[in-house]
Amino acid sequence: MLFWETHAVTPKALAALAARASGAECLVREDKTGSLIVCEQGDPPEGVNEKRVTPLFSGGRTGPDAGAWIFYVGLWTPKEWRSEFCAWYRCEHAEILLECPDWEGFQFLEGPSEKGCQFVLHRLAERGALDSEWRRLSRSTSWFKRLAKNKWFDKPFERVLYRRIDIGLN
């Protein structure tokens, strides 16, 4: 799976980029400062930042029909914490989030990095899922609090909210 990050935000510009990919899903940042194209394969044009990721696990609905919003979370997890972090995410955090009616699903993906790295694409039917009681609960467990004692955990994570746009390719 590929992520293409670009500063393009118009449907016309994104359609031109997505034409170089197969199975492209185009999303614009909520703050309109850039976009993300999620695709299976393709040849990125110059100026596009490409990230190759490998799926590790997922839950709920994960395709484009799983809601208009993607909450992209970039997690920088040290290698020695990878197993425990993945276990927490899969067994506790994600399970609580999926109880929220507007939290459709997630894909936990891994990309290479010198300091260890994973990415999560959360699929949301409504933006309000981010302010839900389930999200608050998922961040208040004893396991979360134990992990939160590490400097690398939570605050340094990258979080970006994207909304899917129709680029007229269908």
pLDDT(170) > 60: no
Across residues 2-25, what is the average pLDDT?
92
Q: Confidence class of residue 138 from pLDDT cuts 50, 70 and 90?
A: very high
For strands 41-42 and 118-124, give the pairing. unpaired
pTM of the model: 0.89
If you write DSSP's letter for every residue of the chain in order, what string do you get? -EEEEES--SHHHHHHHHTTEES-EEEEETTSS-EEEEESEE-PPTT-EEEE-EEEEEEE--STTS-SEEEEEEE---GGGHHHHHHHIIIIIHHHHTTSTTEEEEEEEE---TT--EEEEEEESSGGGGGSHHHHHHTSSHHHHHHTTSTTSSTT-EEEEEEE---S--
For residue 143, the model assigns a pLDDT of 97
pLDDT at residue number 116: 67
What are the boundaries of each domain within the chain?
2-164
Report whether pLDDT(115) > 80: no
Q: Report, as an integer, the average pLDDT of 23-28.
A: 92
Residue 166 has pLDDT above 90, yes or no: no
pLDDT of residue 169: 56
| Exposure string for 125-134, b = 16+ CB within 10 A, e = fewer | bbeebbebeb
Per-residue pLDDT tens digits for 97-109: 999 999 999 999 9
pLDDT tens-digit readout, 28-87: 999 999 999 999 999 988 889 999 999 999 999 998 889 999 999 988 888 899 899 999
Which CATH topology does 2-164 take? Alpha-Beta Plaits (3.30.70)
